[in-house]
Structure 1
Amino acid sequence: MTISPEFIGRVMSWVWIEETEAGPAGFVFLAHPRDPAENLHRTAEVRDVMGELADALWLVPLTSKSSGNDVADIGPRVEIDTPYRALLRLADGMPSIPLAIGPDWADRVSAERLPVLVFLSALPIPPDSDSERVDLVMRTPIVQRHMRVGCTRLVTPAGAVQLGAPGDTGPSVPSAAHFRATGQHIRPDDVVIIGGVPHIVSNAENRAAGRVRLHFTDGNFYTLEASQRLKVTRPPRVGTHA
């Protein structure tokens, strides 16, 4: 098993903003979903590929001082293309990791130019983990022994609008399309809002009676009835994304 678009599409992410000793910072936690049916060999494969992903991000092993200015600088890798979606860049030629974010995270990271701390767990975790579960997972000694971390920041791709530039009246992002649509018109990379929570679509699967099952990059899915519409944000096609 190697890093592939399919593997990256299954990587789950959680984002938040937190005060550190060095001041406020954006946080990103990355992990692969754990399948109860997977055997130990499969889990070991996932752990190895997540290790390769950590290497591609230049992440280093977690230590007791991994906060604020004590974290290794991995260079500018975060690109916000809508208020609900960001990309975490890997090496050239490799697909970026999509991150489901929200307007508050996007606004603060861009307007205040906050550093972004990236934590990656090589061990898979339950796919239905909420923020409280993630907080517990990150504090678990066995997970911490397999965790890598680095500090990144925003990158402005050529031709894109710079976020939070000096003199700006507020953060701005490249234009995105906002609309309501049935499942038949939703496609991968669209961001849909369900229960007030943004999710990035990884696949749209047609089902019986006109239903569509949306699979998300966080490992969850949602089935729409034929006439059901969701609020959709479609990222602009700017820059170069694998």
Structure 2
Amino acid sequence: MLTQAPTPAIYRTRITHSRHTPIHHSFEYRSYSWYIDVDELPALPWWLRPFARFNPDDHFAEPPSEDPSSATDASLRDRLEAVFADHDIAMPDGQITALLQARVIGYVFNPLSVFWCHDRDGRLRHVVAEVHNTYGGRHAYLLPPADLPVVTAKKFYVSPFNKVDGYYSVRAPRPGQEVDVTVSLHRQRQNTFPDFIANLRGDLRPATWTQVAIMQFISPLAPLLVAARIRIQGIKLWLRRLPVVPR
């Protein structure tokens, strides 16, 4: 039985992307992700805060306010509740944990953030996979528990080399001593081999001040590096004459 990881925690990760059609192309890089409780965000000393900020407005859409003239200070839980409301589903009222990138030196980029939503008895009820593209867009997929792969239709433009068609197979078990999340893109249901696979795998580290500081040397400016690497791979695909799909 999987023992759920404590929060907050850090996972030193290895991310792999593999494209199989119409050309073969793959790459891998190392980074790190935070594992947090959305209601108990990590509290860091002042000298580390620039390297790990957790802003609710970095995720999802701002929920509607009854008073549009007032400033909205929606929490991550509030924003998640709006996602469930959009699907006419009641959000579980227990712990919500998340695997995501923090804002580092004012910059954040979360290609994939995963939220595990539990009921008050601790049972996992839903997984929310939020995808960001490099154009500033974001989309949330509301899924059932994903210890085994679950399927959802693709509804969001992510890569300039992939149409908004087909479906994703998502496997996102709750993190323990390891985290292992896989998303594969399939164009035809009869084709069991995916067109594209992305995997994030990593080992648990305690979110101590020392560990946070160490990560700034091992993977400095992590969100910026992730965004840069994705753009570099896009240029490589363009140079290989892979057709671009307009937004």
Whether the TM-score (by the shorter chain) exceeds 0.5 is no
Give the structure-2-normalised TM-score: 0.26
State the TM-score, normalized to the length of structure 1: 0.26
